[in-house]
Amino acid sequence: MTRALPDPGDIVRTGVVGCGLMGLGVVELFARAGLDVVAAVRTPEAVERSRDRLGESLGRSARRGKISDEEVSACLDRVRFTTDLFDLADRQFVIECVPEDRAAKTELLGELDGIVKDPDAVLASNTSSLSITGMARSTDRPGHLVGVHFFSPVPAIPLVELIPSLHTDPAVVERTARFLTGPLGKEVIRSADRTGFVVNTLLVPYLLSAVRMVESGFATAEVIDQGMQRGCGHPVGPLRLVDLIGMDVVSSVADALYEEFKEPLYAPPPLLNRMVEAGWLGKKSGRGFYTYAQGRP
């Protein structure tokens, strides 16, 4: 039986830029909430690839009994993929989910500021570490830019970090919070605009410590993960988590934290940097601290 969708409130037309792991998860989240979605990618090949991956993800949810086959079709009908940013002109909420690169995100938000026509539209960044205040300088409406940090997998993880900049209008913060908790059904924690926000400021030093243990030969990835899972009750060990997040993402967040605070515990270990250079990015590349066959270690 098809479930009733929540009241979407005043935001019904959404846009997502970037359809990597995080971006496509946000697209699926919006579609399953009954929202109209325009998803912008770089190339026509990425359009086809993203549409196929979305269908596969929704299909897995249907096979697990989380949604019906009718809902899968309805979700796909709600999403339009495009290579033209100007297709986002009528959106009420647009979130960028491009890789964690300050210059790229800042440039993109400046472009979106000139494209999105609704003067009340919310522009959001899904950054996991970068300054919202710094990126807001690229727009003519810094009061409407806010950080919205989802966690992967986006449809499954209930938490979202909401980060206003020094410029963000309090009314925009409240409107975004209602959007996240209402139709999207998320739990929201608010963070000050400082690198790493709440979760990554605590999480990343822990992950880097685990990498250093492997690097020094003190313990293997398997031993470290078993220790934290069986000894501390963590659902997944730190090295498996690094693989799931991606070496490149962990390294980028660590770089941003170290740049801001200059604390040695935030500096990415050489082993992490070498693995990024080798293209061993974790589960998404098939090799990290573990090797993966069909997504399984």
| DSSP-assigned letter for residue 189 | E
Report the C-alpha gap between 224 and 213 in whole angstroms.
8
Active site residue 48: no
Active site residue 273: no
Cβ(238)–Cβ(206) under 8 Å? yes
Active site residue 144: no
- Triad 96, 47, 67: Cα angle to 5°: 80
Report the C-alpha gap between 234 and 253 in whole angstroms.
22
User: In the numeric block, which tokens belong to residue 12?
Assistant: 């019904």
Cβ(79)–Cβ(27) under 8 Å? yes
- The label of the residue with tokens 């960044």 reads 125
Of the candidates 159, 36, 181, 116, the one whose C-alpha atom is nearest the C-alpha of residue 27 is: 36
Instruction: Find the catalytic residue in 50, 57, 129, 149.
Output: 149
Q: Classify 94 as helix, strand or coil.
A: strand
- Alpha helices by DSSP H, listed for 99-161, are 102-115, 132-136
Cβ(220)–Cβ(238) under 8 Å? no
User: In the numeric block, which tokens belong to residue 191?
Assistant: 């963070």
Query: Would you tell me how many other CB atoms lie within 10 Å of the CB of residue 87?
Result: 16
Active site residue 200: yes
Instruction: Find the catalytic residue in 161, 165, 167, 252.
Output: 161
Using the Cα atoms of residue 58, residue 185, residue 23 and residue 144 in order, give the sign of their dihedral.
positive
Of the candidates 271, 244, 239, 266, the one whose C-alpha atom is nearest the C-alpha of residue 255 is: 266
Instruction: Find the catalytic residue in 128, 131, 165, 191.
Output: 128
The catalytic site residues sit at: 128, 149, 161, 200
